[in-house]
Amino acid sequence: MAINRAIKTTLLVKVRRFAAGIDVSREAVRLVVLSQRLRMGEQMRVEYLAAVPLAPGAMAGVEIVDRAAVTRAMRELFADLPRACASHTLRCAMALPGSATLMASVPLTRFGAACELAVANGAALAGLESAVLGEAERMAGIERHALAVDWFVDDAPRSAASVTIAAAGRQHLEARIECAAAAGVTLTAIDGEPHAALRALRHAAMLELEPHESYAAIWIGADGVYGWRIVDDAIAAEMRYPAPEHADLADALRDLAGGGAPGCALLGGEIDLLDGVGFSVADLGDVLGCTVLPFECVSLGDCARPLHAEMLRAPASAVAFGLALRGVME
């Protein structure tokens, strides 16, 4: 037994978990590969970063117009993987744009007393699925056969139990799965772009800011600007622009700040898109009343080998980094 424990301990020290994040944006397909030893507390390691440009017209909003171009880009990225990455089993994740995904938390009471009783007794919730799909159909305004739906019952006090539902157009999901499959890549997860970016920004805050320091996390994607105010490691407020409730981006940012100034703001995404709304990084800092720190992979872990300096400092890598981070941490 002692020998077995020693062998297990040795393996935990040596074995690394590898994960890849693949981000398909309007201008490029980006790949980030991270690794971490299975022993908890070990620092993350950046194994690989790369991007292959996409020709104009390959993407139209959230739609992949030229699937062949995206497939070629993915195939090229994975063909250049270092041997250390290629020799391991990679957990690969892609993301859907925020505007293609709907999320809602619905009180369990909406589904009837029988469902509440099932949760209270710990019974299987197979009977709830049809009602959840109906709710997703109502939320999205799309027939259920055209939707991809994920859901779970929140771990909340039973008096406040709710069901969290995520729904996306099936065509968006299938387009990404088909492009990956054609490139010889098997996906283990699909995430939302804003959620992946937020995961990366929060990881950066954990390493770069003082513990429990309040901050704003801002991500700029093809479908808008997303923001979160983080206080005591929890989301205190969030915003998205454009949105009917905000006259302009400055108004959305002031609403996010909540009448105060965060300690700082972490910024990721395609920063050049700010030009389209007449904004700059300096303007973001002025409105929020704080320093703005661009997201950079270079400060978030050791590098396994010399990597492209521009890629290491690219705020646009936030989504791919957040996707890979999910795979390493799960």
The burial of 2, by beta-carbon neighbours within 10 Å (0-12 exposed, 13-18 middle, 19 or more buried), is given as exposed
Same domain, 136 and 225: no
* The pLDDT of residue 87: 64
* The pLDDT of residue 177: 94
Same domain, 187 and 76: yes
pLDDT class of 13 with cuts at 50, 70, 90? very low
Same domain, 23 and 55: yes
Domain stop point among 170, 204, 229:
170
* The pLDDT of residue 131: 82
Rounded CA separation 104/308 (Å): 40
Cβ atoms of 217 and 198 closer than 8 Å? yes
In a domain, 141, yes or no: yes
pLDDT single digits (tens) 54-109: 999 999 878 899 999 999 999 999 998 888 787 677 899 999 988 888 888 888 77
Same domain, 228 and 269: yes
Same domain, 182 and 69: yes
Between residues 329 and 283, the one the model is more confident about = 283
Same domain, 77 and 120: no
| DSSP strand pairing (45-53 vs 28-37) | antiparallel
* The pLDDT of residue 42: 66
pLDDT class of 8 with cuts at 50, 70, 90? very low
| Statement: residue 125 has pLDDT above 70 | no
Same domain, 47 and 181: yes
The burial of 264, by beta-carbon neighbours within 10 Å (0-12 exposed, 13-18 middle, 19 or more buried), is given as buried
Q: What are phi and psi of 214, to 5 degrees?
A: -75, 145
| Lowest mean per-residue pLDDT among 28-42, 48-62, 130-144, 156-170 | 156-170
In a domain, 50, yes or no: yes
CATH of residue 140's domain is 3.30.1490
Between residues 117 and 241, the one the model is more confident about = 241
CA angle (290, 296, 300) in 5-degree steps: 110
pTM: 0.85
Rounded CA separation 326/330 (Å): 6
In a domain, 257, yes or no: yes
In a domain, 273, yes or no: yes
Domain stop point among 170, 203, 219:
170
Range of the domain at 77: 16-97+172-192+300-309+319-329
Same domain, 82 and 114: no
Same domain, 223 and 145: no
Same domain, 79 and 184: yes
Average pLDDT along the chain:
84
Residue range 148-155: mean pLDDT, rounded: 78
* The pLDDT of residue 225: 95
pLDDT single digits (tens) 252-280: 999 999 988 899 999 999 999 898 888 99
In a domain, 125, yes or no: yes
Q: What percent of the chain has pLDDT over 70?
A: 84
Same domain, 82 and 181: yes
pLDDT class of 160 with cuts at 50, 70, 90? low
Same domain, 177 and 238: no
Number of domains into which the chain is organized: 3
In a domain, 77, yes or no: yes
CATH of residue 76's domain is 3.30.420.40
* The pLDDT of residue 156: 54
pLDDT class of 242 with cuts at 50, 70, 90? very high
Between residues 13 and 240, the one the model is more confident about = 240
In a domain, 10, yes or no: no
| Statement: residue 9 has pLDDT above 50 | no
pLDDT class of 16 with cuts at 50, 70, 90? confident
* The pLDDT of residue 1: 47
In a domain, 9, yes or no: no
